[in-house]
Structure 1
Amino acid sequence: MKVFLRLVLVLFASTIANVSLASDKECLSPHTKYDVCKAAREIQESMAPMLPMTMNANMTLTSVAAIGPIFAYYVRWTQTWPEIEAAMQNAGTTKAALLQMMDAQTNAIICGQETTAAFIGLGGTVQYHYITSDAVPVTTTVVSSCP
């Protein structure tokens, strides 16, 4: 558990290091002047007390972060990376196919929810960071537009 928490902190710190302090241009929707950075912080403040949260039998939402106009979810799978590799091999699929499926499903979930689709429509971005139970980073899905 301590290794997992350290990894989450490292991922969080690296995300912050890659994002400069949000400017008004980044935060204010060009269409409505709505502050998406403030909205991201409010979503974080409302969700954080409920975490960790079981999403399904295989995933737990462990933390959330508001980084300027970005709202990030950090998700831990119940499986280890070797277990996922074995499942992919048994299913005759590749990591690339798994990641493509995850991206498509994450996009469908994000864009299918009124609140997150509206957040993105106003200029926000939603990220999902996935790691395994043995702290192997799997992928990060970034959604910055919805159809």
Structure 2
Amino acid sequence: MARSIMYAFALIFLGTGSSSLSAAEFLCRPNSVSDDVCERAREIEDEMRPQLPFTTADGTLITRIYSHDSTVSLEGRWSWSDAVFKDRLLKSGLTLSEFRAKAAQSTNEMVCSTEVLAAFVRLGGQFRYKYSTEDNTPVVEVLVVHCE
């Protein structure tokens, strides 16, 4: 019984013959309209790269952008050191995990409220944001994979 379940799994997910999807097709065309989100990720990167570095409304300096498969990654740096960040965190009464949850929520809202970015996510694309302090201490990484 277990062997037949494994065989069925292999047929369904891995496919057989020439009709199966390649790994790239699975990653790049995960939507019903067969739009290539990997190509869209490269286009977003190409469009945003000349604008770097730029500062967001909340004061984050976006310093780097790159794409890989269906993911666009951006790296941002805050204008305070790790010591200042930890002091602010302590004074706010938030734990680091609570801060990270708020950062994830805020980043998701920002992406999903920007129609062109939300459309990319709805097609199966992803945005990864990596935030660090001015002295390059990593603080939080957010992956946006869903927009309503």
TM (norm. structure 1) is 0.81
Note the C-alpha offset of 1:30. 2.9
Give the match's secondary structure for 2:56: strand
Query: RMSD of aligned C-alpha atoms?
Result: 1.3
Q: Which runs of 4+ in 1 moved over 6 A?
A: none
Letter in structure 2 aligned against 1:102: A
Distance 1:57 1:24, change over 3 A: closer
Paired position in structure 2 for 1:139 = 140
Distance 1:57 1:139, change over 3 A: closer
In the alignment, the residues of structure 2 paired with residue 119 and residue 46 of structure 1 have an alpha-carbon distance, to the nearest angstrom, of 14
Note the C-alpha offset of 1:57. 5.9
**Structure 1: gaps of 5 or more residues:** 1-21
User: 1:51-72: CA deviations, max 9, x gaps?
Assistant: 0001146310101111100011
Give the match's secondary structure for 2:46: helix
TM (norm. structure 2) is 0.81
User: 1:67-105: CA deviations, max 9, x gaps?
Assistant: 100011111111111101101112222111111110110
Paired position in structure 2 for 1:102 = 103
Give the match's secondary structure for 1:29: coil
The answer on whether the counterparts of 1:76 and 1:132 sit within 8 Å (CA) in structure 2 is yes
In the alignment, the residues of structure 2 paired with residue 107 and residue 125 of structure 1 have an alpha-carbon distance, to the nearest angstrom, of 11
